[in-house]
Amino acid sequence: MRLDTPLPDGYRFRPLTADDHHDVLDLDAWAFPVPVETEEMAKMPSPLTWERAVGVQVDGDTPDGSPLAAMHASYPFTQFPVPGGTLPTAGLTWVGVHPQHRRRGLASAMIDLHLARCRERGEPLSALYAAEYAIYGRFGYGRAADDVRVTLPRGAALRDVPGASEHSVRIEHANAERHRDLVLGIHRAAGQDVGGLGLNRPGWAGPETAELQAHRWYDPAAFRQGFESRRLVVVERDGEPRGYALLRRKLDWDVTGPRGTVNVAEAVALDTASSRALWGVLVDLDLMSETKPFLVAPDDPLLSLLVDRRGADLRVSDNVWVRVVDVPTALAGRRYAADLDVTLAVTDTRLPDNEGVWHLRAEAFGPASCTASETAAEDADLALDIRELGAAYLGGTALTALAAAGLVTERTTGSLARASTAFGWPVAPMCSWVF
């Protein structure tokens, strides 16, 4: 493992292993305060892929004996969905710096190491969820997807959909042995062929590793914040599961009666009828007054099924961020929504191999190629930084919108509109779970 990226004096990188579990949790709790003791946290199976976890060790003694100043890790998404395909992608995660050691450049050094290791491993992309919006742009990550957060009142009216009433419903305790394959199967199928269009949903990563799976199904009371254990709703048609939701309820009593809340961690359905059947159950659970799905795709059928969308208190939030680590491999590795022949002048202060002019050619929904171009940077059709390339990469952020904000420059008239159309994708990108 290469650990040769420079760090400020007094710190050094070191590999982390499962033996560091306790120290890692202690550091993580410094970075992300939680009301749960480390001993309790340690019972939870770690989601980390240890050979991709790196610590920053403090030289010498530390006041409370905590040896780690910082850490980061990544998940190996071997099949991260990009428009029209998949690419190996490093899901950057668990980036944390002890408050005692913050703002000394430790995170910057960790990200430089992470990007160098992505290139070494042949991962042309890195993706992440940002804890705070302002952190990752400087490292070349762009906001590549949005999701919406809604609060659905009890009994929210939903438009009728033919076939919805032909579904039967199962409501059960969520159980890894019984339900893991069902959940994985529907999740995968829903991302690969969205609404029968024959197109995938970019960003729709699956929990690919055994560690992520084990972590996902662990459900200790200490982490439930007063909610019940995890439950599963399955809608079936002709005996076949067509959608599921993972949820928890919490019952509070007001002077005027029950005021329960349903938190839906994930709701996935294979078509509009099964989606209607599923949401019909989720908005009408007894004693509950509101239903809160966590992450909803901006084009999820739910938003068009709602008769009164304003009543759902809709908010937009950033979902996954993408960092293009290897420009030619990443650009040739996705499909485009229109024919394209364009030169892009790309700047990248952290990964100089990405800098230069790239010639991108693609057939609509067909193969693409990307090669280094002899064109001078000032003569390229479009100029943009690697951060904007990451923002546009999954098809969820229009190049025209970035140009309107002064972040993309058009040098050849018409190239912006053409490239913006081609970089778009008919299905909104989104990831359904936070990694």
Ligand X SMILES: CC(=O)SCCNC(=O)CCNC(=O)[C@H](O)C(C)(C)COP(=O)(O)OP(=O)(O)OC[C@H]1O[C@@H](n2cnc3c(N)ncnc32)[C@H](O)[C@@H]1OP(=O)(O)O
The verdict on whether residue 420 carries a ligand-binding annotation is no
97 interacts with ligand X by CB under 6 A: yes
279 interacts with ligand X by CB under 6 A: no
The verdict on whether residue 149 carries a ligand-binding annotation is no
- Binding segment (CB under 6 A) for ligand X, from list 122-130, 209-217, 227-235, 346-354: 122-130
Cβ 193 to ligand X shortest distance, Å: 29
**Residues with a known catalytic role:** 136, 435
14 interacts with ligand X by CB under 6 A: no
Secondary structure of residue 163 in the 3-state scheme:
coil
Cβ 132 to ligand X shortest distance, Å: 4
CA distance 183 to 186: 5
The verdict on whether residue 108 carries a ligand-binding annotation is yes
Pull the structure tokens for residue 313: 């208190």
The set of residues, in sequence order, having a beta carbon less than 8 Å from that of 62 and lying 6+ positions away, is: none
Cβ 197 to ligand X shortest distance, Å: 31
Taking a C-beta distance cutoff of 8 angstroms, is the pair 45, 25 a contact?
Answer: no
- Binding segment (CB under 6 A) for ligand X, from list 89-97, 236-244, 246-254, 261-269: 89-97
Which of the residues 16 through 45 are near ligand X (CB under 6 A)? 31-32
- Binding segment (CB under 6 A) for ligand X, from list 46-54, 102-110, 162-170, 222-230: 102-110
- Binding segment (CB under 6 A) for ligand X, from list 90-98, 171-179, 286-294, 367-375: 90-98
Cβ 222 to ligand X shortest distance, Å: 21
CA distance 329 to 227: 45
249 interacts with ligand X by CB under 6 A: no
Total number of residues that touch ligand X (CB under 6 A): 23
The set of residues, in sequence order, having a beta carbon less than 8 Å from that of 133 and lying 6+ positions away, is: 143, 318
Cβ 56 to ligand X shortest distance, Å: 9
49 interacts with ligand X by CB under 6 A: no
**E-only strand ranges, 67-214:** 68-82, 85-97, 125-128, 142-143, 146-149, 152-153, 168-173
Which of the residues 323 through 352 are near ligand X (CB under 6 A)? none
Taking a C-beta distance cutoff of 8 angstroms, is the pair 412, 418 a contact?
Answer: no
135 interacts with ligand X by CB under 6 A: yes
94 interacts with ligand X by CB under 6 A: yes
Residue nearer to ligand X on the CB measure, 114 or 230? 114
Phi, psi (deg, nearest 5) at residue 203: 85, -10
Q: How far is CA 43 from CA 17, 209, 219, 223, 274, in A?
A: 16, 19, 11, 12, 37
Label residues 237-248 b or e (16+ Cβ within 10 Å = b). beeebbbbbbbb
The verdict on whether residue 105 carries a ligand-binding annotation is yes
Q: How far is CA 341 from CA 94, 154, 331, 389, in A?
A: 39, 51, 12, 16
Q: How far is CA 210 from CA 18, 216, 399, in A?
A: 15, 10, 37
Residue nearer to ligand X on the CB measure, 48 or 267? 48
**Interface ranges with ligand X (CB under 6 A):** 31-32, 92-97, 102-108, 128-132, 134-135, 138
Residues of the binding site: 95-97, 103-108
